Chains A and B, each alone.
Chain A
């Protein structure tokens, strides 16, 4: 009992090596078991499959012309989609945090729709809207622009499915911003643009970058929404995930695994990068 009282002292609640709360062994056991079985064990299949291939065949598969074209389309579309989401997300986050207006709560709630809506549903809906006879497609066709069944459609689908990321990362930062600097600047006659550039943007850009990076990562892997609207023309509008799928349907498991390993490594590096970036940025915030 005496030992556990140390946990009641304010500040650091428990000393290292002294675990006050129960359930350590149980929760550690369950978590490690689950993570090993569900997340790590399946990796062994991929590793064995690609190890069997030999370097030359692996290299030939992942640098195949059609596959290279799919990397390019996916990267370009994801980059443009996440830039669009950076701008749109910044606007939505700003409006939701800074202003009061009727319908604000509904707008706030609706932002999460792309996360909640199954991607296949998003895919067929966007296709219906952007097809030549759809509501949006008709308007675009006036300008002779085709969106559905072209790479533009991929960008549309990716921006839709990853729209909430930037809003949800920027919102809390904007809310926590202390108003003093800004008020001082405004009362001294600074324009809105100057205040935004010199005070607001420096405070929120780490969050903005995190949101854009998350949006980019999600877009790289997006499959369901994209395949309906992309048209899936080899060399033109075929994304990487679909490339893996195509190889699988040709029963070429080795080729599918090779391409998947490239995607997997790229996304793990991105994930690690985002985590490190966030850790650095959080430390800076607490260091203040």
Chain B
């Protein structure tokens, strides 16, 4: 595009600039202003009030629980995502496509249905839940249940980020490593991981964002006990329904902060990947 003078569709200045203006308007109205509103509302009663809202006992407990859920969910789905991506991109076997489709189920299923599935199985009426009840184990309406549904809802993210990338990179490098006598762990540590680290980071950040913010599935299995099973997202709802709008937005601003970090990391990762890919493209041209 750099030296080419030929016109393409939409290159006339008036078309170009009106479309850009329209895109700016849409971005402002649909994305920027909502983001601004969150912080405006959170600070509506002043900074001291904002701080008081965040350091409230129940809010602090909700923050703690949310961090616990993320701290358990992310590593579980990290290991699973890497394993699944390795499996479906490094080996051919019957049923490979089925696995790739199955992993998308949580994306297609309504979070409320996801929560319900767990409630029906592990709740006191479920076949597994009633047995667990006899062993004195209660998973639903307590934090383990919240972790379980969050694992369900967030399990595709890491795998979904890794599979296309690892597919595209191919197996040759790792196979060369095997020929040279590397062990499995060495292969992963020295060849695979450096190739996928940025996509992996983004997968983890996405998993984390969703784990921290999951609402529908968690609200089915949580029981909303203030100070016990209330995650930050549920706490936002609770405060909002108590007509404590400023308090709700104060908690929401924390979640919005995590969302902002997520999109910054994504931009950074894309920039790193573009740099990593550039020399690769040159090589393929020389071949």
Contact = CB atoms under 8 A, between A and B. Distances in A.
Nearest to A104: B20
Interface of B, helix, strand, loop or mixed by DSSP? helix
Interface in A198-256: 199-200, 217-218, 220-224, 228, 240-242, 244-245, 248, 253, 256
B116 A257 contact: yes
B171 A14 contact: yes
Contact of B92 (A14, A221, A242): A14
Interface in B170-192: 170-172, 174-176, 178-179, 183-184, 187-188
A44 B234 CA distance: 27
Interface string A92-125: 1011101101010101111111111111111011
A99 B13 CA distance: 11
Contacts of B99: 31, 35
A143 B101 CA distance: 46
A193 to B, nearest CB: 9
A158 B99 CA distance: 29
A42 B117 contact: yes
B259 A117 contact: yes
B31 A220 contact: no
A91 B83 CA distance: 38
A34 B87 CA distance: 13
Interface residues of A, number: 106
B249 interface: yes
A44 B121 contact: yes
B220 interface: yes
B135 interface: no
B57 interface: no
B200 interface: no
B141 to A, nearest CB: 12
Contacts of A105: 267
B275 interface: no
Interface centre among A16, A35, A124, A275 (most CB of B within 10 A): A124
B266 A268 contact: no
Contact of A183 (B6, B111, B121, B213): B6
A272 B257 CA distance: 35
Interface of A: 1, 4-5, 7-8, 13-14, 16, 19-24, 26-28, 30-31, 34-35, 38-46, 48-49, 88, 91-92, 94-96, 98-99, 101, 103, 105, 107-122, 124-126, 128-129, 135-136, 159-160, 163, 179, 182-183, 185-187, 192, 195-196, 199-200, 217-218, 220-224, 228, 240-242, 244-245, 248, 253, 256-257, 260, 263-264, 267-268, 270-272, 275
Q: Which 6 A-B pairs have the closest CB atoms?
A: A118-B213, A221-B110, A45-B120, A45-B121, A224-B215, A223-B216
